[in-house]
Chain A
């Protein structure tokens, strides 16, 4: 493993649509990422054995028909359950972003479920989060601001389970008021998620599900306040870096295998 690049498999097909930029982010972080259509994986499930990281990217798999993530998860369960179990039982990392999060809750990889936003509207905006949980994905991150774009992101969990998850450091992120909310005068919790939960972890901490999109914050210029920051930096004769805060997650994942 030491001399080889960390291998990432990114699922695609049936309306998933963030696979290309997710690949770009993993590769910028030093990994080697392959986009694999679910039907190709079904045809050749053994290939999963060669990967370190499994990513379910964002998108609109099956158009959210019958509930977001459900149909894609059903396909996975109906054809790939065994291979998935075996992947998870190895020392691997898994991430589900947005629609990917909805898929992995339906697969039972992380607890809870995602329901329609409290406003019943789709929304694209930025959110601020504090990191609450503990996971290789989150190493060294205390707070982070990322964009969301979803219609079904209201996290649902029962109280008992939530307490257990808090104790076990399985609540990855919580929405909070931070610099983006301040900048654009937004409320902290964009969708009515219970306990402001934005992302959660499996018991092992190795599977991360999150509504916000780290790959859409992989560059500094993605930030809504980029133009202001750029102008201020210019006057202070400072140079802004290219990299955005979202890269931290991808780098953490790749570096985990380089330990």
Chain B
């Protein structure tokens, strides 16, 4: 029997009021007068009327809601109904909960054929047209994953109206379990077509990109001809996953020009090796690059881990799903580190097109396949991280937003997680893990559907009309939370498994093949993998990226205990095969071998290729500087700009205090300014703190990617040290997001960036412990007029830092504290306005961003940072703010309204070579920090700073006047409140 239960609020529903306002903001000009939300639960189960009624009672809180069965609540006064439900096969998290509640209440489990489907029903009142309703419906759903239904209420019968009882089941056509791909007979063109568009199905359609180029396809062809057979589809798909750019990072691994060992080994791992060697006994790294995250020493007992991921392509198509999958995915990297670390902090980073940009982009020439707008992407991504982080009980500590026109084709979504794990568990080092031959291959967590098929290969290509819809997944943080708690808080310490890893890109095809390296082989019975719905082909099951799954190797004699524990925690656990030492990765379907692949070819068969670079230099115009002497207006405009303005509305909707470890929070001071570094205390009984920071300067890439990278490292290190980090125990992570990565100029830029990564990290002694690249952030499509458009992101390197400080109470916040304190600038200010936020603002016409991009002098800066560290340790600094985007004036302004105190300073004689007032105020020269010092500490402070370029520029004032002078002339003269208002305007506008 199929029934619908409708649940609606009795009293005022705040969500409906807020929604009505947002619909009117779609250009409906107040036509919507009222809205009502109804939750619909479609129940397809063999239940009696009494059982349905009992079920309905589980779904309401009688003080807040009432229900009706197969009968919509009173529709009078409403003109339209919009129903939004999931498309068939899309994860419906709420439905899972409802099924569990009903099964509990009726003491009767759901059968395989029975299910619940949820949808949201919106009643809309007002004199609106069909066109208006369409607009509303479009704002409410993403057609890629959701379906909508619009009904005019006048068309429904009076009284007893019910919505359709359509069951959105997935019904897959019957097809052969697997096919053989006749590679041996194919021409180069046909091979290329398979590589680009996928294997040809018997029905004439292609299965989606394998992202294998001709060279790779020919190597595969040759390999199978040596075996005297053709590959099966699952073998080919498996190779495509394992060899994908996403998994093998070929651009970083291959020889490039005369750099034989490739960029990663030479510059990233190379830097880490050099630094660790130099540190000798003081090396604080424990596990670098070999696991799902990097791990450093926290104290004698614990290690902290860090990992930052990107989830760009999925977020472009489904921002909410992409972002939530990004954050819960990187949480799994933490749970999958060593024997399993506990996530203790989440981080986010967003690069978007400007939210006010309404120019449409289309994936196809017929203009049917519209890309989501930057605003829509921003809102969805923010919500996705909200749901993922908040629901998981992991504090979202740090984050940033950057805007550039060139992110409108493809946004960048970074998600990071810090973990905590004892260094030894049951007497064994926790980061050592090894699957043993004979162990069961156990998959825990969610079931498998078509979601995320070809995710790994998709993220390795340009976003265009061939991008598969199934590449999108929706995360379920609660399924994962149950899994995480059961593993990290219980099974791990009971010693119930030998190894564990995350199922991310490539699904079990990658996780099983990776773990099989530890013992030498694996054999999988593919039919044992639990499915969301019947009809999936083995190759789909093998590579699906359905979420919330981890793979473990469980010794046979521990299996019963492990399984029992998982059952009790409501976590699905299934043994799908065995690890072996056969040197082969074998997949069977009901006993028949359908994949039989030597481990050696699977992992090392990918042909190397040589990459070459060719740099094309570009010069930019210098902008016209303002004529008047005042820069007050310019400062106010900068503070209100997207890249400098407050992200308060984001920080406030992310729980940053759960786990009770927060010390230096995302917002600080009376003025709630965003902090550049944050401090947590992951072990409540320890005085040690963990400092986190991140930095990026994508705009600098136009001028120099070397300086872009060096500045990102310098700023991440500087912000951390300003908050109290110990430089000698600071590690960094690189996230390289590039574009058109086979283009020789882009590769030249990449080499420059990596050289800077090596030089700067080695100079500061800050090892890389983990990293991630995403090399094809390009969009190819059409504008509103059907003209073809290609948009590539500016080459972007995100540097994240993690460090341990001895006493978290010594942390320093950025805002001014006490009137009368002396204000100092540490470090020199130079004519380095190239691609600064200031030049981008005043040189907007004609892209006049200048050419003098900031250079990093690591030797000078190192001395500054060490002196600052020592001053913070002595407790003689009242506030410290790192000078970053927007320059000195911006840093002074933030520190000032952060503490709601004024200032009076003179920048005439500041250290450095800054020839005009624009440079003094807005240059983004690196290595600078603004600090305030109590008068009683000045002597001690200046002594510590004796080898630092130090400028004492003025005082914090009690009144709320903000005055910057250049000699006698006031160049900025305004009020603290005015600046605060400008700073907060971006947040207020986008709330």
Contact = CB atoms under 8 A, between A and B. Distances in A.
Interface of A: 12-18, 20-21, 24-25, 37, 39-40, 43, 58-60, 62-67, 70-71, 74-75, 78-79, 105-106, 112-113, 115-125, 147, 149, 151, 154, 156, 183-185, 192, 213, 215-216, 218-219, 221-222, 224, 226-228, 230-232, 234-235
B934 A235 contact: yes
A63 B670 contact: no
Nearest to A17: B393
Contacts of A227: 664, 668-669, 811-813, 815, 817
Interface residues of B, number: 73
Contacts of B936: 235
Nearest to B814: A227
A66 B659 CA distance: 25
Interface string B58-71: 11110111000000
Interface string B643-671: 00000000111111111101111011110
A21 B660 contact: yes
Interface in B893-951: 899, 934, 936
Nearest to B15: A120
24 contacts: A13-B485, A13-B569, A15-B391, A21-B659, A21-B660, A37-B568, A65-B94, A65-B97, A65-B98, A66-B39, A66-B94, A66-B97, A74-B104, A113-B63, A121-B653, A124-B654, A124-B656, A125-B652, A149-B658, A216-B657, A216-B658, A224-B667, A226-B663, A235-B936
Nearest to A63: B478
Contacts of A185: 670
A122 B97 contact: no
Contacts of B655: 122, 124, 149
B660 A71 contact: no
B101 interface: yes
B227 interface: no
A15 B668 CA distance: 29
Interface of B: 7, 9, 11, 13-15, 17-19, 39, 58-61, 63-65, 93-94, 96-98, 100-101, 104-105, 386, 390-393, 476-478, 481-482, 485, 568-570, 651-660, 662-665, 667-670, 672, 684, 808-809, 811-813, 815, 817-818, 875, 878, 899, 934, 936
A67 B390 CA distance: 15
Contact of B393 (A60, A64, A184, A218): A60
Nearest to A16: B393
A59 B61 contact: no
A118 to B, nearest CB: 5
A196 to B, nearest CB: 16
A228 B669 contact: yes
Candidate in A113, A122, A192, A227 with the most chain B CB atoms within 10 angstroms: A227
Contacts of A59: 393
A25 B685 CA distance: 11
B4 to A, nearest CB: 15
A60 B390 contact: yes
**9 cross-chain pairs, A with B, having the tightest CB-CB distances, nearest first:** A17-B393, A65-B97, A21-B660, A113-B63, A227-B813, A120-B18, A63-B478, A149-B655, A65-B94
Contact of A116 (B13, B98, B393, B652): B13
Contacts of B60: 67
B14 A115 contact: yes
B660 A24 contact: yes
Contacts of B668: 224, 227
A25 to B, nearest CB: 8
A115 B100 contact: no
Given A62-B97, A65-B93, A124-B652, A156 B391 contact: no
A121 B14 CA distance: 10
A15 B65 CA distance: 23
B64 A74 contact: no
Nearest to B661: A21
B916 to A, nearest CB: 35
A17 B481 contact: yes
A63 B657 contact: no
B817 A39 contact: no
B817 A63 contact: no
Nearest to B21: A120
Contacts of B101: 66, 70-71, 74-75
Contacts of A40: 568
Contacts of B684: 21, 24
B14 A120 contact: yes
A18 B394 CA distance: 10
B882 to A, nearest CB: 16
A1 B386 CA distance: 44
A16 to B, nearest CB: 8
Given A62-B97, A156-B11, A17 B63 contact: no
Candidate in B664, B669, B934 with the most chain A CB atoms within 10 angstroms: B669
Given A66-B101, A122-B386, A184-B670, A221 B663 contact: yes
B14 A231 contact: no
A20 B652 CA distance: 23
A231 B94 contact: no
A192 B393 contact: no
A66 B101 CA distance: 10
Contacts of B817: 227-228, 231-232
A228 B819 CA distance: 12
Contact of A113 (B7, B61, B656, B659): B61
Given A112-B63, A227-B664, A231-B934, 20 more contacts: A13-B570, A14-B570, A15-B478, A15-B481, A20-B659, A25-B660, A37-B568, A37-B569, A43-B568, A58-B658, A63-B391, A70-B59, A71-B100, A79-B104, A118-B14, A120-B14, A219-B660, A222-B660, A227-B668, A231-B818
Contact of A78 (B7, B15, B104): B104
Contact of A119 (B14, B59, B390, B813): B14
A15 B482 contact: yes
Nearest to B653: A122
Nearest to A43: B568
Contact of B98 (A43, A66, A121, A228): A66
B568 A39 contact: yes
B69 to A, nearest CB: 16
Nearest to B654: A124
Contacts of B656: 124
Contacts of A149: 390, 655, 657-658
A105 B63 CA distance: 10
Contact of B15 (A14, A116, A221): A116
Contacts of B59: 66-67, 70
A213 B15 CA distance: 24
Given A113-B63, A123-B652, A78 B105 contact: yes
Candidate in B104, B390, B664, B665 with the most chain A CB atoms within 10 angstroms: B390
Given A18-B393, A124-B655, A222 B662 contact: yes
Contacts of B672: 184
Contact of B97 (A63, A118, A221): A63
A39 B482 CA distance: 12
Contact of A71 (B97, B386, B476, B811): B97
A12 B64 CA distance: 26
A235 B933 CA distance: 11
A236 B61 CA distance: 53
A103 B669 CA distance: 34
Contacts of A106: 61
Contact of A216 (B63, B391, B660): B660
Contacts of B670: 183-185
A17 B809 contact: no
A74 to B, nearest CB: 5
A192 B485 CA distance: 34
Contacts of A184: 670, 672
Contacts of B482: 13-15
A154 B14 contact: yes
Contacts of B98: 65-66
Contacts of A218: 660
A79 B934 CA distance: 62
